[in-house]
Amino acid sequence: MQPQMPLENIPRYINREKSLLEFNRRVLAQANNPEFPLLERLKFLCISSTNMDEFFEVRLASLYELRNDPSARTQPDGLVPQDAIEMLSEVAHDLVDEQYHTLNNILIPALEKEDIRFLRRNHWTDQQKEWIRNYFIQSLQPVMSPMGLDPSHPFPRLLNKSLNFIVSLEGKDAFGRTNGLAIVQVPRSLPRIIKLPPEATDGVNDFVFLSSILHSNVSNLFPGMTATGCHQFRLTRNTNLFIDEEEVDDIMSALQGELSSRQYGGAIRLEVSDRCPKNMYEYLLDQFDMDEHQLYRVNGPVNLHRLDTVPDLARRIDLLFPPFKAKSLKSSTKAKQTRLKLFSRNKQPQTLFDQIYRQDILLHHPYDSFSPVIEFLQQSATDPNVLAIRMTLYRTGEKSAIIDALEKAAKNGKEVTAVVELRARFDEDNNIQQANRLQDAGVNVVYGVVGYKTHAKMILVIRREGEHLRQYVHLGTGNYHHITTRFYTDFGLFSANPALGHDVSKIFQQLTSLGDTNNLLVLLQSPFTLQSGMIDRIHREAENARQGKPARIIAKMNGLQEQGIIDALYDASQAGVKIDLIIRGICSLRPGVPGLSENITVISIIGRFLEHHRVYYFENNAGEPELFCSSADWMRRNLFSRVETCFPILNKKHFQQIYTEGLAIYLEDTMGAWVLQTDGSYLPKQPKADEAPFSAQNWLIEKYSS
């Protein structure tokens, strides 16, 4: 039981970035989860490393940008940026130490028991040493560019997150001089971990780190001199892009110019080997104009993410999750014979348009296959009755069948419009390439709205049917990305509902013409009505509770940070509304505070799949409860700086399915659920004494596999 603090002494909000680090701590905890297969646990360690990289590149970097602004404060907790940086630095150092403890003391010993070994230099056999030496000479040395430091060889400009070595040298160079220090930059094309072949070792899965190979052979890069020290390091830079959209004529051209400089932003973090002597890491800090609190000394490779190649190289499927095959639309139909009819009376196959016209289709990814979305576009591209296709594209991935379908549709004479968000973080270059490809095919490509990212997930197909034009829509909670749909949980809805079609058409018209959309029938839209629409419904639940009527809110999302919604939830809690929040990542709301939020519980689900639904349920006096799915989290950026959609679930069967599969079963989870405490920490949710452990994701896998 936590000691009760006076209400006035408890901060009203949890710092956003600290909450993000707590999320990554939960991800890292899965690497210690004995319920997961061993190589999957290694993957979670790698994911936590990638998450930390992004934390430094984006979130902490943003705070560094604000340090010199005396009026700047973090939102919603109101910290001075420098105070936030110092607080977050302490948490981040602790988390990084935990990562390497997990690697060295838990995962590596467990992997060794499965004959997956990471060989240390001092344990190499003569046979291994010989193969490693030849590998260095043949595969590494020719592509290395060692640089001795002197006035004509200044400290090199290092790429963001690249692997480098600082080397101390004894002896004279070819020109009779004593340099003392050198830098070795490792090309990104080289693997960071190498599996030894059968001729080099007796083990089936023996690995060596590239850093170990370089350490043992580094003197070969400096003929006539001797390396007395060799220490790996990695620099993390600010990767935020700076574009004044009001001042540029072409966002694509401006963005392309910024992308080339992203790898050389301001220095945010320096990782070095924990064996690196003080004089060397101080020299590096001085070169990058960094403070010592930006230094991270690590016991292992400076980029843990590169260990993600091991599961593929090891070929141990017994140490991975059992394969899961998403259910196809046909198999779903067969299992639920009342859902769809695939053949008409004359036995001719019907199109997806026929099926959607008859009844809305709900897909639950990754349990349902994503292929119907691709098929929908492919049929639209070739159907002679389809006149126009409009679609938003935020992340699509490379070699996308969706891009192929849009390209084909344009070449077939359809009127195709693609709203491509060029500023999807870290996907900018791919999105630019896809936009150029679509334009070359004759697609009308627009880049959204200046100052607002287009994050909505929408497809609109206009089809001539007899004397009428019918609108078919797809609305989703996740990206049109064929890879992420295999492990992100999302809902997608196909519908020919005229109200949905009207609203989606209006929003596309707004995105292209920049006209007003003040007459939407059923959709809520950011940045206009979504935040106020959610707050109105929260206030309605509060008023119902004050009047003694049934009142309940259940909401599932990736992040909650917007102050207006948090304050409305606090008010509803004080009115007596029972509020259950299922929030995977950031949560700035502080639950369990007496007199403020004691009726609010917050859980986070971490499991095999990445929880990505956005689902919002309001009891509405138990008469006509409302259920919404959305592309938007309850974050300030989603509600005020992006174009987002939030759509009601109007079909009763789909309402019950989403309520059950997207909300209710997660509240029962005791295997992947973590409960947010009042102090901002999380504790694993435990089953009651008479309950068996329950996993929502496992329940869904079993349901969709039957």
The pLDDT tens digits for 294-312 are 999 999 999 999 999 999 9
Task: Provide mean pLDDT across the span 509-518.
Answer: 83
Mean pLDDT (the chain, rounded): 90
- Residue 560's pLDDT band (cuts 50, 70, 90): very high
275-289, 419-433, 480-494, range with the lowest pLDDT: 419-433
Locate tokens 């843990």: which residue?
304
- Average pLDDT of the segment spanning 423-440: 73
For residue 35, the model assigns a pLDDT of: 93
CA–CA gap between residue 455 and residue 631 (Å, rounded): 7
Residue type, 558: N
Examine the pLDDT at 648 and tell me if it is beyond 60. Answer: yes
What are the residue boundaries of the structural domains of the chain, listed by start?
14-319, 349-517, 525-705
543 burial level (CB within 10 Å; 0-12, 13-18, 19+): middle
What percentage of the chain reaches a pLDDT higher than 90?
76
Q: What are phi and psi of 229, to 5 degrees?
A: -160, 140
Does the domain spanning 14-319 belong to CATH 3.30.1840.10? yes
pLDDT (tens digit per residue) in 126-144: 999 999 999 999 999 999 9
Instruction: Name the token pair of 374.
Output: 């691709």
Q: What is the pLDDT of residue 436?
A: 84
Looking at residue 630, its pLDDT comes to 98
Beta bridge partners of residue 185, listed in sequence order: 145, 164
Q: Is 455 a catalytic residue?
A: yes
- pLDDT for position 424: 54
Per annotation, catalytic residue among 455, 482, 613, 654: 455
Residue-level pLDDT at 425: 59
pLDDT at 671 over 80: yes
- The whole-number pLDDT of residue 256 equals 46
Name beta bridge partners: 629. Answer: 615, 647
What is the pLDDT averaged over residues 546-551? Answer: 96
pLDDT digits 0-9 by tens, 245-287: 444 344 445 444 444 555 668 999 999 999 999 999 999 999 9
Identical fold, 349-517 and 525-705: yes
Does domain 525-705 correspond to CATH entry 3.40.190.10?
no
d(CA 392, CA 407): 14
Residue 575: the pLDDT is 98
Q: Find the helix packing angle between 251-259 and 428-440, rounded to 10°.
A: 140
pTM of the model: 0.92
| 242: pLDDT strictly greater than 90 | no
Mean pLDDT, rounded, for 455-463: 97
pLDDT at position 251: 44
Mean pLDDT of 490-519: 92
What count of Cα atoms within 13 Å lies in the side-chain half-sphere of residue 264?
A: 7
Query: Six-digit token pair at 95?
Result: 């988390």
Q: Tens digits of per-residue pLDDT, 322-349?
A: 998 898 876 444 444 333 343 333 445 5
Q: Is the pLDDT score of 657 beyond 80?
A: yes
Give the model confidence (pLDDT) of 590-628 as tens digits. Answer: 999 999 999 999 999 999 999 999 999 999 997 889 999
Give me the mean pLDDT over the 199-226 stretch. Answer: 93
Q: How large is the average pLDDT for residues 571-586? A: 98
Residue 6, pLDDT score: 56
Position 140, amino acid: L
More confident residue, 145 or 517: 145
Pairing relation of β-strands 578-583 and 600-605?
parallel
Q: What is the pLDDT of residues 5-27, one digit of tens each?
A: 555 667 899 999 999 999 999 99
Instruction: List the Cα angle 127/133/137 in 5-degree steps.
Output: 150
DSSP symbols for 45-110: HHHHHHHHHHIIIIIIHHHHHHTT-TT---TTT---HHHHHHHHHHHHHHHHHHHHHIIIIIIHHH
Residue 448 has pLDDT above 90, yes or no: no
% of the chain with per-residue pLDDT over 70: 90
According to CATH, the superfamily of the domain at 349-517 is Endonuclease Chain A (3.30.870.10)
Q: What is the pLDDT of residue 428?
A: 66
Q: At residue 504, does pLDDT exceed 60?
A: yes
Please give the average per-residue pLDDT across 416-440, as a whole number: 77
Judged on CB neighbours under 10 Å (0-12, 13-18, 19+), 18 is: buried
pLDDT at position 422: 72
> Which pLDDT score is estimated for 151?
60
Of 303 and 516, more confident: 303
